[in-house]
Amino acid sequence: MIPGLTQLRRFQFKFPQRVAAVMLAIFLAQGLWLVAHQNLTARDYEYARCGREIWEGGSPISGYYTSCGNIHDGILTYRVAGLPLTLNYLFERALDMTRKPEDRIVQTNGQPTNWEMRHQLTHVLILLRFPFLLAGCGLGAAIWWVTRRLFGNWGGYMALALYCFSPGILQACVTPNAEVMGTLGFYGGFYCCIGVAHSMQGPRKRWRPRIVLLTAAFAVAAASHIVLLPLVALFGLLAMQWIAEGKRGEVLPVILISAFTSLVLLFAAYGFSIQGVSGLLQSGSALVSLSAEPLLHFFSSIQNAGITLAAGAALLFFAFFRRSQYFGNTTPLLCFAGLVVVVTTGVQSQSWIWALPFLLTFIAGVFADVFEGPRGKLAMAAAAVTVGLQAVVCMLSLPGLV
């Protein structure tokens, strides 16, 4: 039987997967509710116009990659924002073949520009935001998969519930930006590194699919924020060196090959345009600094009350109980601490979004240890209260509900 079909047959949609699916459905419903209460902004039109230019043709301004200028960072964001609109435009053009000239949606006089056609497309608001909302669901699914695999069902439930009721994440998923996709690439890339390191203890045929997945994650991170590529490569390299006993000499080549291939894919995202990539290389998009401001901003916000309470309790337990101080808990804590203080000086970014999945993974791991202790039922009750608090805060933040 084909290996892919064998893996598909092994997947089972049982009760834990159904619970996760319900949580992600709630997350999606909240996102759609937010979209229904939004209006298009000038920044939305910028992403729509320049994203479509990347897909449909060159910039009308000579010497620039798009009419937004040369894309210094986040080329994937523009492509993701523009693709649904381009497909919608092509679909409407195809349907116009069956309509009378006076009833056609795309009224063309010569060759109109993308900016002129903005009034001829329908459902722009949802088309522009839905891919980012799907990326948010994908990030939630990744958090669920990692935490459940590492810490069991209850750890996965807690991490995913806190994620699905995070107002900041929801807001990021209904606004065209590079944060959620960059986070998906970084989080997926880091745990793919760990997966590759574990597979190195087995036959080489098990390496290849994981390395391909690792390269794809690196490419998503690089095409979202170029600074994320060296960061995930460094963090992943350190984690792999920790795990791959007897194979440490092969870790660096794997990272370098994946990183180089991801740069080739980044070049492809620019349409193999030297002009487009030169704008990235000549910019300061990869310049970073360190600051405690994102950390203070996150934990001082009332919208993160439940996550803050859970993080404080998890950190106390981790500090005083040796049973929770192992690789699965230590690495996400170190990743969170390393990412949340990063500030990009060349482009706008929100590093707390990059770091949040690792914090949730740490919380899930520590609480999973407590669930298995002598006071497990009490710990589960405390976790339920914490998740409930975060859910209430999140619901109160939704417009039109109160």
What span, in angstroms and rounded, lies between the C-alpha atoms of 61 and 158? 50
E-assigned strand segments in 277-392: 288-290, 342-344
The answer to whether the beta carbons of residues 344 and 227 sit under 8 Å apart is yes
pLDDT digits (tens, 9 = 90+) for 153-191: 999 999 999 999 999 999 999 999 999 999 999 999 999
69 assigned to some structural domain: yes
pLDDT at 40 over 50: yes
**1 confidence band (pLDDT: 50, 70, 90):** very low
Is residue 129 assigned to a domain? no
CA–CA gap between residue 18 and residue 153 (Å, rounded): 12
Tokens of 293: 């401001």
Closest C-alpha among 218, 347, 331 to residue 339: 331
pLDDT for 52 beyond 70? yes
- Mean pLDDT of the region 261-273: 92
Q: Once rounded to an integer, what is the mean pLDDT over residues 17-30?
A: 96
pLDDT of residue 122: 61
- What dihedral angle (degrees, nearest 10) is formed by the CA atoms of 60, 62, 63, 65? 10
Give bridge partners of residue 69 from the DSSP assignment. Answer: 66
65 vs 289 pLDDT, higher one: 289
Structural domain includes residue 143 = no
Q: Give the Cα separation of 391 and 380 in Å (integer).
A: 16
What pLDDT, on a 0 to 100 scale, did the predictor assign at position 299? 93
Q: 14-28, 139-153, 203-217: which range is least confident on average?
A: 203-217
Please write the tens of the pLDDT for every residue from 60-80: 666 677 777 788 888 999 999
DSSP string, 147-180: HHHHH-HHHHHHHHHHHHT-HHHHHHHTS--SHH
CA distances from 89 to 97, 118, 121, 322 (A): 13, 10, 7, 59
Q: What residues make up the domain containing 58? A: 42-122
Cα separation, 331 vs 322, in Å, equals 15
Q: Could you tell me if residue 106 is inside a domain?
A: yes
> How far is 310 from 391, CA to CA, in rounded Å?
13
Q: Is residue 117 part of a domain?
A: yes
Q: Does residue 315 have a pLDDT over 80?
A: yes
Please spell the DSSP secondary structure of 102-160, one letter per residue: GG-SS--SSS--TTGGGGG-S-HHHHHHHHHHHHHHHHHHHHHHHHHHHH-HHHHHHHH
- Residue 394 lies inside a defined structural domain of this protein: no
Tell me the mean pLDDT in the region 37-45. Answer: 87
* pLDDT reading at 330 higher than 50: yes
Task: Tell me how many domains the chain contains.
Answer: 1
Helix, strand, coil: what percent of the chain each, to 5? 75, 0, 25
Interval 216-223 mean pLDDT: 96
Lowest mean pLDDT of 34-38, 110-114, 286-290, name the range: 110-114
Tell me what the pLDDT averaged over the chain comes to: 88
Supply the pTM of this predicted model: 0.92
Per-residue confidence (pLDDT) for residue 179, from 0 to 100: 95
User: Which pLDDT belongs to residue 60?
Assistant: 60
pLDDT band at 8 (very low <50, low <70, confident <90, very high): very low
Mean pLDDT confidence for 217-232: 95
Q: Is 93 exposed, middle or buried (0-12, 13-18, 19+ CB in 10 A)?
A: middle
How far is 209 from 112, CA to CA, in rounded Å? 45
In a domain, 101, yes or no: yes
Q: Is 325 left (phi over 0), alpha (psi -120 to 50) or beta?
A: beta
pLDDT band at residue 5 using 50, 70 and 90 as cut-offs: very low
pLDDT digit string, tens, across residues 332-376: 999 999 999 999 988 888 999 999 999 999 999 999 999 988 888
Q: Answer whether residue 80 is part of any domain.
A: yes
Please report which confidence band the pLDDT of residue 150 belongs to, taking 50, 70 and 90 as the band edges. very high
95-129 pLDDT, tens digit each: 777 777 766 666 655 555 444 455 555 678 899 99
**Whether 351 contacts 296, CB under 8 Å:** no
pLDDT of residue 195: 92
